[in-house]
């Protein structure tokens, strides 16, 4: 028998997985992709099932179905998937815009990270000079709340002369160092809570259990 290549090579494994986990999104997506590759329209139902369970599958899943129908001149059948794909793209654009804004308002929630993860972050932060406080919260999101955005806010303990030379600049440098040096779970935004970010401090402080690290300079 000739060697299997590409999508077809996943066939035997997918047959077994679909028996064991018929509702798993990745398994359904893989089976749907395989069937569409074989020209079998039954693959549409599998990809629909995957997209309904996992929003991240929508763009590529719709793309596969649209291509399948277009190749067969079935443009009317493809139309709902074109609309769904467009709608998902709009949601992702709005979500990106939301994640890029940190308003000075009450849009911050408890982080809900496991205690051992928080303890690991707090321990790692103790190595940084001039860092006296750290606050960990989660941004309240409208469009894709299933993908958390965590905010790690830093406060520096600075002497009088360091304040005059620019605590905010030190904060920016420290934020960059921490982002590069500490492995953080998920999507994180690290920022200093000085000068232009000072109004944010009161809001993150108000969140339960947001303060995670205190160190004297």
Q: Centre a 10 Å sphere on the Cβ of residue 19 and count the other Cβ atoms it contains.
A: 9
Q: At the topology level of CATH, where does 108-214 sit? A: GMP Synthetase; Chain A, domain 3 (3.30.300)
* pLDDT tens readout for residues 48-90: 999 999 999 999 999 999 999 999 999 999 999 999 999 999 9
The 10s digit of each residue's pLDDT in 96-153 is 999 998 888 889 999 999 999 999 999 999 888 778 889 999 999 999 998 999 999 9
The predicted-structure confidence for 151-179, as pLDDT tens digits, reads as follows: 999 988 766 445 556 667 777 888 888 88
**How far apart are the C-alpha atoms of 154 and 134, rounded to whole Å?**
5
The DSSP secondary structure of 81-116, one letter per residue, reads HHHHHHHHHHHHHHHHHHHT---SSS-EEE----HH
25: left (phi over 0), alpha (psi -120 to 50) or beta: alpha
pTM, entire model? 0.77
- 6-96: CATH topology is 1.25.40
């Amino acid at each position: 028998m000739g060697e299997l290549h590409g999508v077809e090579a996943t066939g035997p494994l997918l047959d077994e997985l679909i028996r064991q986990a018929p509702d798993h999104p990745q398994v359904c997506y893989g089976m749907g992709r395989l069937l569409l590759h074989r020209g079998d329209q039954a693959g549409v139902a599998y990809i629909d099932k995957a997209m309904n369970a996992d929003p991240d599958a929508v763009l590529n899943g719709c793309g596969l179905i649209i291509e399948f129908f277009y190749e067969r001149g079935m443009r009317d059948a493809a139309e709902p998937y074109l609309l769904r794909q467009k709608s998902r793209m709009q949601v992702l654009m709005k979500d990106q815009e939301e994640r890029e804004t940190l308003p000075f308002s009450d849009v911050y929630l408890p982080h809900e990270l496991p205690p051992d993860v928080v303890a690991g972050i707090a321990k790692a932060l103790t190595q940084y000079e001039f860092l006296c406080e750290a606050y960990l919260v989660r941004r309240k999101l409208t469009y894709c709340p299933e993908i958390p955005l965590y905010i790690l806010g830093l406060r520096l303990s600075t002497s009088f002369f360091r304040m005059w030379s620019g605590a905010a600049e030190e904060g920016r440098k420290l934020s960059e160092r921490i982002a590069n040096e500490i492995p953080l779970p998920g999507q994180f935004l690290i920022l200093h809570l000085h000068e232009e970010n000072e109004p944010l401090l009161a809001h993150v402080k108000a969140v339960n259990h947001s303060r995670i690290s205190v160190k004297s300079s």
